[in-house]
């Protein structure tokens, strides 16, 4: 799989979905606690523009050394643009191959998928991901450190996909579709609705609230 081609395809598919939502949906709460739908799109647009090392360091300094605060505020700042302008830029730059320094392409694919689902899940939008994309993202997410901390989340349990051969970990099982397991590994509590098994309660206790 060409991961950059997959990133572009997923961006364009999300742009198509966004083109069909009502104006009010842009202000709906996403699965990201600090972001509306428009702010998630603002973050994705920001990613397409590219963030250099110097810009990132300056941004962190301005936000008390917090990378998460820097990213959150950039998403909101970009998300305040007119939805039509946001969508136009997002679609026009879908082929961008800019990425944070040192970030593998598969991380960009994971970022795209997770944020697309941050939008689609609360809006009730369905999307079919390929097996290649789901497996690639699941494999990078299971070893993710900052900012997801998936290794800590999954300590002592196993995840088992119900829609493929993918599995990870050892211990009591939590099972569900790969998209739901990816979103759980990304810290999205809402995805637990699609997860079953004896380890579900452990995930529920470990996932952040609010």
Query: Beta-carbon neighbour count of residue 59 at 10 Å?
Result: 17
7-28, pLDDT tens digit by residue? 999 999 999 999 999 999 999 9
Angle between helices 3-19 and 83-92 (to 10 degrees): 160
Edge-to-edge strands, sheet with 173-176: 167-169, 158-161, 173-176
Q: Is the pLDDT of residue 186 over 50?
A: yes
| Cis? peptide before 147, omega within 30° of 0 | yes
How far apart CA 83 and CA 90 sit, in angstroms, is 10
Average of pLDDT values for 183-208? 96
Among 7-11, 51-55, 75-79, where is mean pLDDT lowest? 51-55
Q: Is the pLDDT of residue 69 over 80?
A: no
Output phi, psi for 6, to 5 deg. Answer: -65, -40
pTM of the model: 0.90
DSSP assignments along 7-36, one per residue? HHHHHHHHHHHHHTS-GGGGGSB-SSTT-B
- pLDDT value for 147: 64
35-49, pLDDT tens digit by residue? 999 999 999 999 898
In whole angstroms, what separates CA 94 from the centre of its chain? 16
Query: Beta-carbon neighbour count of residue 210 at 10 Å?
Result: 4
Dihedral (Cα; 52, 58, 59, 63), 10-degree rounding: 160
Burial class (CB in 10 A: 0-12, 13-18, 19+), 97: exposed
SS3 173: strand
125-138, pLDDT tens digit by residue? 999 999 999 999 99
Q: What is the longest distance spanned by two Cα atoms in the chain?
A: 48
Answer for the pair 61, 23: CB distance below 8 angstroms, yes or no.
no
Strand bridging mode 167-169 / 173-176: unpaired
SS3 100: coil
Average of pLDDT values for 115-121? 98
Of the pLDDT bands very low, low, confident and very high (cuts 50, 70, 90), residue 114 is: very high
User: E strand or H helix at 93, and its extent?
Assistant: none
């Amino acid at each position: 799989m060409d991961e950059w081609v997959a990133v572009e395809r997923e961006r364009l598919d999300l742009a198509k979905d966004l083109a069909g939502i009502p104006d009010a949906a842009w202000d709906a709460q996403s699965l990201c606690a600090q972001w509306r739908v428009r702010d998630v799109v603002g973050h994705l647009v920001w990613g397409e523009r590219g963030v250099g090392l110097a810009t990132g360091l300056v941004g962190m300094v301005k936000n008390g050394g917090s990378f998460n605060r820097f990213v959150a505020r950039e998403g909101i700042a970009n998300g305040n643009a007119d939805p039509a302008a946001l969508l136009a830029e997002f679609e026009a730059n879908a082929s961008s191959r800019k990425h944070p320094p040192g970030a593998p392409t598969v991380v960009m694919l994971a970022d795209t998928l997770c944020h697309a689902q941050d939008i689609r899940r609360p809006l009730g939008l369905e999307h079919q991901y390929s097996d290649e994309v789901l497996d690639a993202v699941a494999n990078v997410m299971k070893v993710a450190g900052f900012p997801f901390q998936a290794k800590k989340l999954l300590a002592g349990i196993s995840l088992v996909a119900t829609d493929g051969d993918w599995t990870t970990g050892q211990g009591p099982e939590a099972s569900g579709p790969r998209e739901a397991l990816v979103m759980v590994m990304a810290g999205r509590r809402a995805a637990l609705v699609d997860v079953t098994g004896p380890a579900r309660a452990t995930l529920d206790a470990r996932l952040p609230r609010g």
